[in-house]
Amino acid sequence: MTDVPSRQRKPDACSFVIFGASGDLTRRLVIPALYNLAVTDLLPEKFCVVGIARKGMSSDAMRDSLMKGLRQFATRPVDDVVARRLLECVTSIEADPKDPASFDAMRDRLEKLEANRSTGGNRLFYLATPPNAFAPISRELGRTGLLQQKNGAWRRLVIEKPFGTDLASAKALNGELLKIVDEHQIYRIDHYLGKETVQNILVLRFANGMFEPIWNRNHIDHVQITVDEKLGVGHRGSFYDATGALRDMVPNHLFQLLSLVAMEPPTRFDAHSVRAEKADVLAAIQTQSETEALRNSVRGQYQGGKIGDTVIEDYCKTEDVKPGSTTETYAALKLSIDNWRWAGVPFYLRTGKALGLKRTEVAIKFKQAPFAMFSSTPVETLAENYLVIGVEPTEGIALQFNTKVPGPTIRIDGVEMKFRYKDYFKAEPATGYETLIYDCMIGDNILFQRADSVEAGWQAVQPFLDAWKKVGAKGLERYKAGSEGPDGAEELLKRDGRSWRKLG
C-alpha cells in the first residue's frame, strides 16, 4: 500500500474571500477542505479568510459558527490547534450587492486587512451563494476594482454551480463575467472534477499504451454513463422543482465524465490543452431536433416507496414542490458524437434520485468477438466485454472478459479483473474540494470549466429541455422510489439491441 504524497508547493500569500460564508456549502465543504489543507500544510504562510456576512455578524460569531460546522462536517478528527489557527484567520465583513456603498466600505476594510496580513494583494473571491447572486456580486466586484489585477497581484473569481439554467442564461452570465475579468481569472467549479477517479480517467487513457489504440469506433460498441442516487429531493424542493434531473446533473457532472472519456489526447497536460480538447468534444455532440430529442430520451418522476428502511414520499408531496409538478427526477438520454473517433458509437446517459442503489460509473462496452469459432461447441453466448470506471461507491476500474471454465469440454464464462483504489493507496478521507481549492490558490485551472465548455454542454441538452417543456406531462413516466428507475430507460437501449449493465 502506498501513502499518497502531498504536493509540496505552498500557494502564494493571499486572501480568500467567501460570499455565502454562513451558508451550507461553506460549512459543509469549503471550511472542512481548508482545514484538511491546513493539516497537510498546504495553505499559504500569509493568509486571511474573509467571510462576507449578514448584517451585524461579528468575526467572533462567524468563527464560532464555522467551528461548529467544522466539528460536524470535518472528514477527519479535528485537531484544536490547527482548527484554531485556521479560524484565527477569519474576519467577518458585511457587503450586500443591493447596497453598492457596502462594497466600497468592504474594499477599504479588505485592503487594510491585507496590508496587516502582508498578503501582497492576491485575492480569491469564492461565490458560494445561490446562483442569482453570481452576476450582481461580480458586477460590484468589478465596479469597485476589487478584481483588477495590478502591481503583480492576482485576482480570481470562483463560481459554484449551477452555471446558468439553459444555453441563453449561461451565455449571458459568461458575457457579464467576461466584461469584468479575463477567462483565466474565472474558476467555474464542478465538484466531479475534484474526485480522484474522475481525474484518473485522463491518466488511465493517456498514461497507458494499451487503451488508446482501441479507444474508438472500431472497437467500442457504446458507452454508458450512470449516476444513480438513493437520496430523494429532501429539503431542496424549491431549487429542485425549478431545476430537474437533467439541468441538475447532465450538462455539468455527466458531461465531465463524458468529455474525459471521449476527448482527443491533449498535446500537453496543461489547462489550455486539456480544456480545449474537452470543449471540442462537447461541441461535437450532435444537436438533436426536438423530435429526435423526444425519441432519444426518457423522463421519470419518483413515487413513494422504501429504500432500505427509509420511507420516501411521492416527489409531488415533497416540501416546496408544486402539486402536480412535471419536473423529472430521472433522465436518460442517447447522444451521438459527430467526429472520426466516435461516429456511430452511442453514448447512453442516465441519472436519477430515489433509486435502489447509489452508483456512479462509466462503462465502456467493447464490440463482441465473432461467435463463429464457438458455434459447434456447447457455448451459447459470450459474456460482454466491459471496462468499468467506478466512481462511487467503489472507486476503481474493472475489466470483464471471457475465460474457459476448467474441465474437459469447452465452456466459457465471464470473469472480472478488478483494481480498487483502497487496495493500493492509503488516502485520508476528504471532501473532494481540497484539490479544487488548492488549484484556485496556485492558479491552475485545468480542473475548472471554461466558458466554451459550459456553453457547449448547454447547447447539447437544450433540445431536450425545449422538447420536454412543450410536451409537459406527456411522456413523464412514474417509477417507484427504491426501484431501478422508469421502464422506458430499458426500452431506450433495447430498441438498439442493447441493455444497461446490471448494477449491484
Residue 328 touches ligand BG6, criterion: CB under 6 A: no
Mention every residue, 6+ apart, whose C-beta is less than 8 A from residue 501: 224, 226, 363, 365, 384, 386, 388
Measured in whole angstroms, the distance separating CA 234 from the mean position of its chain's CA atoms is: 20
Instruction: Give whichever of 100 and 432 is closer to ligand BG6, judged by the CB atom.
Output: 432
Q: Name which of 251 and 266 has its Cβ closer to ligand BG6.
A: 251
**Which CB, 189 or 220, lies closer to ligand BG6?**
189
Whether 253 is catalytic is yes
* 229: contact with ligand BG6 by CB under 6 A: yes
Angle of the 255-262 helix axis to the 271-283 helix axis, nearest 10: 100
Q: Which residue is nearest to ligand BG6 (CB)?
A: 248
Name the minimum Å distance from CB 432 to ligand BG6. 7
Q: Which of 191, 235, 253, 272 is catalytic?
A: 253
H-type helices in 209-270, by residue range?
A: 237-249, 255-262
Q: 10 Å Cβ neighbour count for 86?
A: 22
At its nearest, how many Å lie between ligand BG6 and the CB of residue 493?
22
Closest CB to ligand BG6 among residues 63, 191? 191
Write the binding mask 333 to 362 for ligand BG6: x where contact by CB under 6 A, - elsewhere.
---------------------------x--
**Shortest Å, Cβ 121 to ligand BG6:** 33
Q: Is the peptide bond before 100 cis (omega within 30 degrees of 0)?
A: no
If one asks whether residue 160 binds ligand BG6 (CB under 6 A), the answer comes out as no
d(CA 122, CA 156): 8
Comparing CB distances to ligand BG6, the nearer of 215 and 448 is: 448
248 binds ligand BG6 (CB under 6 A): yes
Give CA–CA dist 432/56, Å, rounded: 32
d(CA 492, CA 502): 15
For residue 116, give every residue at least 6 positions away whose Cβ sits within 8 Å of its Cβ, in sequence order, or none: none
CB of 302 to ligand BG6, least distance (A): 13
Characterize the bridge pairing of strands 476-480 and 297-303. Answer: parallel
Closest distance to ligand BG6 from the beta carbon of 143 (Å): 30
Cell of 244: 430537474
228 is a contact residue toward ligand BG6 (CB under 6 A): no
Report the nearest approach of ligand BG6 to the CB of residue 91 (Å): 29
Closer by beta carbon to ligand BG6, 221 or else 229: 229
Instruction: Output DSSP code: residue 30.
Output: I
Whose grid coordinates read 488549484?
Answer: 439
Q: How far is the CB of 102 from ligand BG6 (least distance, A)?
A: 30
Length of the chain: 504
- Number of residues forming the site for ligand BG6 (CB under 6 A): 5
Residues numbered 74 to 113 that lie near ligand BG6 (CB under 6 A) are none
For the bound state, the minimum distance from the C-beta of residue 243 to ligand BG6, rounded and expressed in Å, comes to 8
CA distance 303 to 152: 57
Residue 222, beta-bridge partner list: 365
Q: Which is nearer to ligand BG6, 46 or 358 (CB)?
A: 358
Element (H, E) at 310: strand 310-312
Question: Please, what is the end-to-end C-alpha distance for the chain in angstroms?
Answer: 27
User: Using alpha carbons only, how large is the chain's radius of gyration in Å?
Assistant: 24
Do the Cβ atoms of 13 and 44 come closer than 8 Å?
Answer: yes
How far is C-alpha 327 from the chain's CA centre? 21
Q: Smallest gap, in angstroms, from Cβ of residue 198 to ligand BG6?
A: 10
Give the contacts of 61 (CB within 8 A, at least 6 positions apart).
92
Task: Choose between 288 and 360: whose C-beta lies nearer to ligand BG6.
Answer: 360
- Pairing type for strands 220-228 and 359-366 reads antiparallel
Q: Which is nearer to ligand BG6, 128 or 227 (CB)?
A: 227
**Spatial strand order in the sheet of 412-420:** 412-420, 396-404, 386-392, 359-366, 220-228, 347-352, 330-335, 297-303, 476-480
So which residues are the catalytic ones?
253
Residue numbers at the binding site for ligand BG6 (CB under 6 A): 161, 227, 229, 248, 360
